[in-house]
Chain A
Amino acid sequence: EAGVAQSPRYKIIEKRQSVAFWCNPISGHATLYWYQQILGQGPKLLIQFQNNGVVDDSQLPKDRFSAERLKGVDSTLKIQPAKLEDSAVYLCASSHVGNQPQHFGDGTRLSIL
Chain B
Amino acid sequence: DQQVKQNSPSLSVQEGRISILNCDYTNSMFDYFLWYKKYPAEGPTFLISISSIKDKNEDGRFTVFLNKSAKHLSLHIVPSQPGDSAVYFCAARASGNTGKLIFGQGTTLQVKP
Residue of B nearest to A98 (CB): B99
* Complex CA–CA separation, A107 to B36 (angstroms): 15
Residue of B nearest to A59 (CB): B100
> In chain A between 59 and 113, which residues have their CB closer than 8 angstroms to a CB of chain B?
91, 93, 95, 97-107
Q: Quick one: CB contact mask for B71-112 with A, threshold 8 Å, 1 for yes? A: 000000000000000000101010001111101111000000
Q: Is B65 an interface residue (CB 8 A)?
A: no
**List of A residues within 8 angstroms of B106 by Cβ:** 41-42
Q: Is A45 an interface residue (CB 8 A)?
A: yes
Q: A42's contact among B46, B97, B105, by CB below 8 Å, is which?
A: B105
Residue tally, chain B, CB below 8 Å to A: 23
Residue tally, chain A, CB below 8 Å to B: 27
Q: Is B45 an interface residue (CB 8 A)?
A: yes
> Do residues B44 and A40 form an inter-chain contact, with CB atoms below 8 A?
no
Q: Is A50 an interface residue (CB 8 A)?
A: yes
**List of A residues within 8 angstroms of B97 by Cβ:** 98-99
B50 CB to closest chain A CB (Å) equals: 12
> Do residues A43 and B99 form an inter-chain contact, with CB atoms below 8 A?
no
> In chain A between 40 and 54, which residues have their CB closer than 8 angstroms to a CB of chain B?
40-45, 48, 50
Max chain A C-beta neighbours (<10 A), residue from B43, B93, B97? B43
> Do residues B100 and A56 form an inter-chain contact, with CB atoms below 8 A?
yes
Q: A48's contact among B41, B43, B45, B98, by CB below 8 Å, is which?
A: B98
> Do residues B43 and A95 form an inter-chain contact, with CB atoms below 8 A?
no
Q: Is A26 an interface residue (CB 8 A)?
A: no
7 nearest CB pairs, A to B = A98-B99, A42-B103, A104-B43, A98-B98, A101-B46, A106-B43, A104-B44
Which residues of chain A have a CB within 8 Å of any CB of chain B?
4, 31, 33, 40-45, 48, 50, 55-56, 91, 93, 95, 97-107
